[in-house]
Amino acid sequence: MRLILLAAGAALFVSPALAHGTHGGLAERHQNKPTAGAVPAKGRLWLPGDHHIHSEYSADYEPNPASPQTAPIPLLGKDGRYSIARNAQMARQFGLRWMVSTDHGGPNHSKLNYEQAWPEVNKARSLVPEMLIFYGMEFDTPAGDHSSLIIPFTGDEREQLRAIESGFSKREPWPADKAWDTEGRMIDALKLMRDQKAPPVLIANHPSRSATAPFAWGLYTPAEFRNWNDTAPRVAIGMEGAPGHQAGAIKPDGSPDPTGNRGGYGRAPTLGGFDQMTATLGGFWDSMLAEGRRWFITATSDSHSNWRDGGNDFWPGEYSKTYVQAQPNHGDIVDGLRSGRIFVTTGDLVSEVDVIVSSGGTQAGIGGTLKARKGQPLTVTIRLRDPAAANAGGRSPSVARVDLITGPVTGPVADRTTARAPTTTVTHRFTAADWHREGEVLTMTHRIPAVTGPLYLRVRGTSSDELEPTADPKGEDPWSDLWFYANPIFVNVK
């Protein structure tokens, strides 16, 4: 019964300054006006989706034999294997309601996207009308790795993406130009996106895949993400918490591959399938939240080629899901992503997660902000659905533990390379003895006696007995090590 249930969440306020692309000081950019976030309300559902999916238009390239000095020729279906419509059909089969088609670029790829990929997106919309399909790309990020670029569903989406890709994707020019691969150029790209009529959403993909060790960053760095978020806080909204390629340790016959890595993370492995920037308690993600930044996490398939066909990937929705609380339309899904009304799960460990923080007659949910008086108690209520039906791996995992994590909000850091939040702690660990079960639904509560200053709360859970997620060994069965993470709730104190 992995159903799409539970209406929730009030509409979020966007200040006129942010809506029109102008910017106030640091405090305005990091402190959204208080909002309810994901709390029960009519019309909004938990909608599962995937924002990182490749099609045949993620091309390989070969030199032009007739004119070696001209741009190389794209070879379709060589990197991404399937049509956009096939991806949408498989996403529907595995229970998704929305998806983003995100092909990465190459020389003159903006022309390929404009002339060939975009019509195929519209074809897929007609063939699979149940799926809310976004047009986007895996942006070849200047001075970075890749990012999911999600274009709002408007009449201008085709022109909007071409303006971004043709002007800033670092692999776009031919011959290659190193001047396109600088952080300054990425900041200029974010300014363009920020000031567009319908700004896109940008999410950093597999942020630590190029890291060489824990806290030894690669193509992405903490300072880089802070610069992004300062420049365009409603565009650069977060990162993949759980990367794709989770089937890297599965052979086509379903047996384990002892040489395979989850996520393709060879030197700094994933932790319970999640990137170290997310999974490390008191690590980078917590350091961003401790500043009061709205920096959110997602989970994706990064589907290129399915494991049954010899690839490293699950189909969209087969293993990882990003749930956004939204009305079933493109606009509210984008709003849900921007506002952090998101939880993520692997292996269908859960299909609903609600976290409600209340104090003095007011409440806030995932992605929201609560105003509380100093000295007042907080009550945290966690409600989740642990589905009884088998997942796509043929198993029916159970939630073994749920962790409530809290940390003080201390404001902007002096050192922008900071990747530690040492005061973040697991406030309470819930097990079966602590929750009430009614069918598939688990409910648990925790009381914080008195709030003394601004803080954030977030929740995670697991099917394992690990108190903290450990490094994933080569050949690990991804179905045996499942986690879910909910995005934060902030508490302001008056």
Task: Walk along the chain (494 residues) in steps of 10 and give the mean pLDDT of each run.
Answer: 32 28 33 67 91 97 87 93 98 98 96 98 98 98 98 97 98 96 98 98 98 97 98 98 97 96 95 98 98 98 98 98 98 98 98 97 97 97 98 98 98 98 98 98 98 98 97 97 98 95
b/e per residue, 52-78, with b = 16+ CB within 10 A? bbbbbbbbebeeeeeeeeebbebebee
Radius of gyration of the chain (CA): 21
CA–CA distance, 492 with 359 (Å, rounded to integer): 11
377 touches 448 (CB < 8 A): yes
CA–CA distance, 398 with 394 (Å, rounded to integer): 13
53 touches 303 (CB < 8 A): yes
How high is the pLDDT of residue 15? 29
Complete domains list, the chain, with CATH: 16-352 (3.20.20.140)
Residue 459: enclosing H or E segment and its boundaries? Answer: strand 455-462
* Residue 5, token pair as written in the block: 């249930």
How high is the pLDDT of residue 67? 84
How high is the pLDDT of residue 381? 98
Strand bridging mode 296-299 / 201-204? unpaired
How high is the pLDDT of residue 38? 83
How high is the pLDDT of residue 31? 40
How high is the pLDDT of residue 37? 84
How high is the pLDDT of residue 5? 32
Reduce the DSSP state of residue 162 to 3 states and report it. Answer: helix
CA–CA distance, 406 with 458 (Å, rounded to integer): 6
CA–CA distance, 32 with 42 (Å, rounded to integer): 23
Length of the chain: 494
User: Residues 6 or more apart from 280 whose CB is under 8 A from it?
Assistant: 214, 271
* Residue 83, token pair as written in the block: 């049509």
How high is the pLDDT of residue 33? 53
Smallest Cα–Cα separation from 334: which of 47, 119, 29, 16? 47
Beta strands per DSSP E along 360-453 = 362-364, 369-372, 378-385, 401-408, 425-430, 436-438, 441-448
How high is the pLDDT of residue 24? 32
CA–CA distance, 379 with 382 (Å, rounded to integer): 10
State residue 90 phi and psi, 5-degree precision.
-70, -35
